[in-house]
Amino acid sequence: MSNYIKVFLMGNLTRDPQLSYLPSQTAVVDFGLAINRKWKSKAGEDKQEVCFISIQAFGRTAENLSKYLSKGSPLFVEGRLKLDTWTAQDGSKRSKHKVIVESFQFLGTAQQSQNNTQQENTKMSTAAGHTTDEDF
């Protein structure tokens, strides 16, 4: 039986990307991604939870992410899970999952996304023969 792991995440960076290089001169970047989930409870209350994920990328991908992103930047990531294990100073065994980036898409700022959506809605309304406030 084959195994397959694929992860798709869309969120905002929790910190500036930290670029470093392996002894082989391969670029490595580490950063965190915050993914928000919003829903309504059965009682009608607005609920929210945040999931924080560690992300790592290598090579040219790492260099591009480090160059163009900063804390708060929105990002779409496609990747795979990796389990890191180590022994802590107190002798206990520790482990942590992280996502290794295989591909990504810049999403722009929240303001840019809002402006793009408004422009698309205006184009669609105009094409359908509807007028908007901007037409006057």
Token pair 């402006």 in the structure block, residue = 115
pLDDT tens column, 29-82: 999 999 999 999 999 999 999 999 999 999 999 999 999 999 999 999 999 999
**pLDDT above 50 for 83:** yes
Output the pLDDT for position 1. Answer: 80
**Region of 120 on the Ramachandran plot (φ > 0 left; ψ -120 to 50 alpha; else beta):** alpha
pLDDT tens column, 116-127: 445 544 544 444
DSSP H helical ranges for the chain: 59-68, 110-127
| pLDDT-based confidence at residue 108 (cuts at 50, 70, 90) | confident
Tally of domains in the chain: 1
Chain-centroid distance of CA 8 in Å reads 9
Query: Does a structural domain hold residue 83?
Result: yes
Query: Does a structural domain hold residue 136?
Result: no
Q: Is 92 helix (H, G, I), strand (E, B) or coil?
A: coil
* Domain hosting residue 105, numbered range: 7-130
CATH number at 40 reads 2.40.50.140
| pLDDT-based confidence at residue 113 (cuts at 50, 70, 90) | very low
**Region of 65 on the Ramachandran plot (φ > 0 left; ψ -120 to 50 alpha; else beta):** alpha
Query: Does a structural domain hold residue 46?
Result: yes
Query: Does a structural domain hold residue 2?
Result: no
Query: Does a structural domain hold residue 135?
Result: no
Residues above pLDDT 70, as percent of the chain? 79
Query: Does a structural domain hold residue 22?
Result: yes
Closest C-alpha among 7, 62, 52 to residue 30: 62
Query: Does a structural domain hold residue 1?
Result: no
Query: Does a structural domain hold residue 110?
Result: yes
